[in-house]
Amino acid sequence: MEAANRFKSLRAAPFSLLSSIRNQAAKLAVESGMPVLFAFLIMGVLTLGGCDDYPADPDHSLQTIQQQKLIRVGVIDDRPWVYIENGTPAGIEATMMNAYAQSRGLDITWHPLSKADAFEHLKRGKIDVIIGGLTNASPRKKDAGFTRPYLNAKDKKDQYVLAVPRGENALLTDLEKFLAQYDVKSAFEEPTS
C-alpha cells in the first residue's frame, strides 16, 4: 500500500511540483499587487515607444545601412515593376527605391538576380531589400519579411510588396513609413529615369 502510494506520488511529482510552484507564484503575485505593478511597467515601456530605434533589427540591417550610407537592392526582372534598361534598373519599384534612398541620404548598389538567388542572398544578408513585382500571394512569403502592400487591393495577388530579411523589423518599419508617405502614382507617371 505504502509502496503504491510512493509510486503514485513519484509519478505525479514533476507536474505537481511545477503546478505548486506556479500556484504559489500566482498567489504571491496577486497578493503583492503584481498585476498593478505589471500595468505600470507596461505603461512605462509604452512611453518608451516613441524612441527611434524601436523596434530594432536582430541582425542590425537598418543600423548598418545608415552607418555605411548604402543600401543593397536585389532586383528581379519583372516588367513594369523593375527591369534593366541601359544597364540601370528602371520601373515603378526602381523609382521607388531611388526615392527612398534619396530621402534617407543613401547610395544604392543594384544586384540583378534570379528569384531563387535573390531570396537566398536576402537570407544570407548579402542584400537588404528585394524589388521585383512581389505580391502577398507569393509562395516566398515565408522566406522573407514582406512590407505591407504599397498598392493595396482585395486580391492577394494584386497586393504589391517589397521584401526585407525576416524579422528585420527596424528596416521593415522604416520602409513602410516611407511607403505610407510615398505617392506611388508619381512612379507610374514618371518615365524611365
For other proteins, the binding residues (CB under 8 A) are: 15, 18-19, 22, 26, 29-30, 35, 38-39, 42, 45-46, 49, 54-58, 60, 145-148, 165-170, 172-173, 176-177, 180
In the complex, minimum distance from the CB of residue 96 to other proteins, in angstroms, rounded to a whole number: 17
CB nearer to other proteins: give 112 or 149: 149
In the complex, minimum distance from the CB of residue 191 to other proteins, in angstroms, rounded to a whole number: 31
122 φ, ψ (degrees, to nearest 5): -65, -45
135's CB contacts (< 8 A; 6+ apart) are 149, 156, 157, 158, 159, 160, 161
CB nearer to other proteins: give 57 or 93: 57
CB nearer to other proteins: give 108 or 172: 172
Tally helices (H) and strands (E) across the chain. Answer: 7, 7
Could you give the dihedral angle defined by the CA atoms of residues 62, 63, 68 and 70, in that order, rounded to the nearest 10 degrees? 10
Separation CA 70–CA 128 (nearest Å): 10
CB nearer to other proteins: give 77 or 143: 143
In the complex, minimum distance from the CB of residue 124 to other proteins, in angstroms, rounded to a whole number: 14
Separation CA 24–CA 21 (nearest Å): 5
Separation CA 78–CA 88 (nearest Å): 14
CB nearer to other proteins: give 3 or 46: 46
In the complex, minimum distance from the CB of residue 10 to other proteins, in angstroms, rounded to a whole number: 15
In the complex, minimum distance from the CB of residue 85 to other proteins, in angstroms, rounded to a whole number: 31
Sheet of strand 145-146: strand arrangement: 107-112, 70-75, 129-135, 160-164, 145-146
